[in-house]
Amino acid sequence: MQSSTAWRPIARVFLPFTAGYYLSYLFRTINALIAGHLSSDARLGTADLGLLTSVYFLIFAAAQIPIGILLDRFGPCRVQSALLSVAAVGAELFAVSTGFLSLIVARAMIGLGVAAALTAGLKSIVLWFPRERVALLNGYMIMLGSLGAVTATTPVEHLLGWMDWRQLFEILAAATGATAILIYVVVPERVIIPSTSSIPATLGSVLGDKRFWRIAPLSATCVGSAWSLQGLWASPWLMDVEGFNRASLVRQLFMMSLVLSGGAWLFGTTLHCIRRRRAGAETILGTVALLFIVAQIALILRLPLPSILPWSVVAIVGTATVVSFAVIADYYPPELAGRANGALNVLHFGWAFLAQYATGVVLEQWSTEDGYRSVVAYQVAFGLNVALQVAALAWFALPRLQSVILRIASIPSIMPTGAFDAVEAGIFYEQADDDAEW
């Protein structure tokens, strides 16, 4: 009897919201596989395809903060079921659209409809499960939801052998509508008790914090770029630059999606282990960003590596939100965590939109030969993105670099006496500033 009671919230809360997040990830990444069909059927250029796919991220980003307010006021059940209904209508419109404008509107509706998929799920976990299990269930929800990216590869490719992409979206529309009904009917309501904390839980408290703006550019440029690449541009790169045929492309996208699915679990486990050694989540974030930059440079320079290695790094960085939100949890009390996560998510999805669309615009500047885009075009487009990530990493690491330089300079045995006196005076001055601030 007790076991049945323990599993009830899993079946009635966790699994329905996980299904919504699964659909969100499927919609996010499916255009990478059907890009060729969209280009030929709707006569879309590279820039048009980039805009069509990335408008999902633009709408998703714009909706994050309003959705956060709605979740706090009305609860995740009603908000998620209502928005998934919008996504279902958008998927059906996408299936019947023949022009670029109607495709854009449909894709925007899908983006709006699944915009609460993760945040509603995470909030439902907080409301229904013990505090000590929240982090574990968060990781499992992201891991299981990201199986949508796996579905958008080999399984969808097999389905496209039996039907066209329009029929596929009609099935997705029906599945999304069914999930909206499931959440509304099955998930119980829970009274949300207002916080009695004296700390002002306002968005301005987050946006006015220097620590937020130290981490946000790095997290946004890395996570958003990873979503942009896996969600669309990995497919053209592998075909135009790596020379993959259709079967090899689908196989590699499938492997990348498996890596993506395991990324949330890996990051969650790593965070658990490293915090036992009293190291911060910032250390992991900086390391992940550095590996991501190195992987992209390896692609740009076309180093003699198996293609799956750098692309697996790209895939796994897409789940680094687990790390970013852990950093946010270290910065802010629970009263501010939701708004801080929402503000960071705006930048994640906003950057994904910019990166995905801008890459298409850059690629459009080079003409195609025999249907293939120039390697140089991809190198320039990817290189511009990497340059911005390097700048964000330097900004993120600047305080630590200054600290290291100061410590090295304070060692008298390796410095002339006069230089040490000058450095010592500087240390005293900076320490006085720190004492005054803290």
- Which pLDDT band, with edges at 50, 70 and 90, does 433 fall under? very low
Compute the distance between CA of residue 346 and CA of residue 119 in angstroms, rounded to an integer.
12
Q: What is the pLDDT of residues 19-40, one digit of tens each?
A: 999 999 899 888 878 877 888 7
- pLDDT of 432 > 60? The answer is no
Domains of the chain, by residue range, sit at 10-187, 203-397
CB burial readout 376-388, b (16+ within 10 A) else e: ebbebbbbebbeb
Q: For the residues 281-294, what does the mean pLDDT come to?
A: 92
Q: Which of 62, 68, 28, 60 lies closest to 342 in space, CA to CA?
A: 68
Structure tokens belonging to residue 182: 């499931």
Helix (H, G, I), strand (E, B) or coil at 1: coil
Q: What is the pLDDT of residues 170-199, one digit of tens each?
A: 999 999 999 999 999 998 876 555 555 544
- Which pLDDT band, with edges at 50, 70 and 90, does 429 fall under? very low
CATH of 203-397 among 3.40.50.2020, 1.20.1250.20, 3.40.50.1100, 3.40.50.970 = 1.20.1250.20
Q: What is the pLDDT of residues 398-427, one digit of tens each?
A: 887 777 777 787 765 544 544 444 444 444
Q: Which of 30, 384, 388 lies closest to 220 in space, CA to CA?
A: 388
- Which pLDDT band, with edges at 50, 70 and 90, does 313 fall under? very high
Q: Is the dihedral of CA 116, 117, 118, 124 positive or negative?
A: positive
Q: What is the pLDDT of residues 252-261, one digit of tens each?
A: 988 998 888 8
CATH class of the domain defined by 10-187 = mainly alpha
Residue 431's pLDDT is 42
Say which range, 31-45, 106-120, 234-248, 351-365, has the weakest mean pLDDT: 31-45
**Mean of per-residue pLDDT scores for the chain:** 82
Shared fold status for 10-187 and 203-397:
yes
Q: β-strands 372-373, 368-369: how paired?
A: antiparallel
Q: Which long-range contacts (CB under 8 A, 24 or more apart) does 383-387 make?
A: 383/300, 384/358, 385/221, 385/225, 385/296, 385/355, 385/359, 386/293, 386/296, 386/297, 386/300
Compute the distance between CA of residue 79 and CA of residue 113 in angstroms, rounded to an integer.
10
- pTM as predicted: 0.75
- pLDDT of 310 > 60? The answer is yes
Q: Which of 216, 219, 226 lies closest to 355 in space, CA to CA?
A: 226
Say which range, 46-55, 78-87, 205-214, 294-303, has the weakest mean pLDDT: 46-55
Q: What is the pLDDT of residues 55-107, one digit of tens each?
A: 888 898 888 888 877 877 788 889 999 999 999 999 999 999 888 889 999 99
Q: Which of 24, 14, 32 lies closest to 226 in space, CA to CA?
A: 32
Q: How far is CA 298 from CA 229, 243, 303, 307, in A?
A: 15, 17, 5, 9
Compute the distance between CA of residue 267 and CA of residue 321 in angstroms, rounded to an integer.
9
